[in-house]
Structure 1
Amino acid sequence: MSLGADGPPGAVPPEPLRVSSSTRGSCLVVEAEGELTILTSDLLRDHVLADMRLLDGPPRVVMDVGEVGFCDSSGLNALIVLWKNAHRAGGEFVLAGPERRFRTILERSGLDRHLLAYPTQDEALDALHETGGG
């Protein structure tokens, strides 16, 4: 699917969001790259929710956002939905590698009190292994 293909002639289409996931130990690691906007947030949310359903036990998810160049309110909403789903199932959802601009968005929205962020993927995984016993 090509996002932004129907824009005005000469307009630069928005950067698509690429999402990939893998498991490390008992944790789901999701890597997002591109822009997390109203055009791409459903893709991210649906991808991660589907992968969370495949996990054994409570979902423990690390979302690496180090390559996300922009996040709007729809993107933040997708992250909230994922965080809530993980917590309802007795799991955890944390962020890894947010750049300064992304951290500022989290802080200004107050979401930094709920969406814990770690500087690296490895630090996020270590934190989940400490809290999840795996």
Structure 2
Amino acid sequence: MIRVPHDAEARSGAADPEPLLIRSGVRGPCLLVEADGELTLRTADLLRERVLADMRGLDGPPRVVLDIGGVGFCDSSGLNALIVLWKAARGAGGELVLARPERRFRTIIERSGLDRHLIAHETQEQAVAALTGR
């Protein structure tokens, strides 16, 4: 798990109420990444770099499930990170899908037109099944 401090916390040592927590592991042939917190200018780069590094460690084309059920806020930097990850997975012959998006998050994706590329599933299990053909 990675915790990303905001600038003020890094300077003062104070607790940050909205870090981004990232957990990742392999579930069957899929990379499962869970993100909790805020996906913003301050945290998007870390998510992007962490998932890209994890994808490089996979055998074969990356099949990535990004569970965003715990993401309470996403700004344009966060959306950009998701697009970069989707393109990287596709460019390597794989796929990236989302799992458990909150309604607000789903609305942002739909209104931006990204729902044509960032396919969302209600559960992690449905997302894994979509990538594995089960």
**By the TM > 0.5 criterion, same fold?**
yes
Gaps of 5+ in 2: none
Report the Cα offset of residue 2 of structure 1: 2.6
**Aligned residue for 1:59?**
62
Which of 7, 17, 26 matches 1:23? 26
| CA distance, structure 2, for counterparts of residue 112 and residue 20 of structure 1 | 24
Give the aligned partner of residue 82 of structure 2.
79
Deviation of 1:5 after TM superposition, in Å, equals: 1.4
Q: How many residues align?
A: 128
**CA offsets, 1:69-89, max 9 Å, x none?**
000000000000000000000
Match of 1:38 in 2: 41
CA positional deviation for 1:15 = 1.0
Q: Which residue of 1 aligns with 2:7?
A: 4
* Cα distance in 1 between the residues matched to 2:35 and 2:9: 24
Deviation at 1:13, TM superposition (A): 4.9
**2:83 & 2:77 partners in 1: Cα distance?**
10
Long gaps (5+) in structure 1: none
- Output the TM-score relative to the length of structure 1: 0.90
* Deviations 1:20-52 (CA, angstroms, capped at 9, x unpaired): 100011100000000000000001000000000
Write out the 4+ residue segments of structure 1 that deviate beyond 6 Å after TM superposition. none
Q: Give the superposed CA RMSD.
A: 1.9
- Displacement of 1:67 in angstroms is 0.3
**Percent identity over paired residues:** 67
Q: By how many angstroms is 1:92 displaced?
A: 0.4
Q: Report how far residue 14 of structure 1 moved.
A: 5.9
2:32 and 2:59 map into 1 onto residues whose CA distance is: 14
What SS class does the counterpart of residue 7 from structure 2 fall into? coil
Counterpart code for 1:90? G
For 1:37, give the aligned amino acid.
Answer: T
SS of corresponding position for 1:83: helix
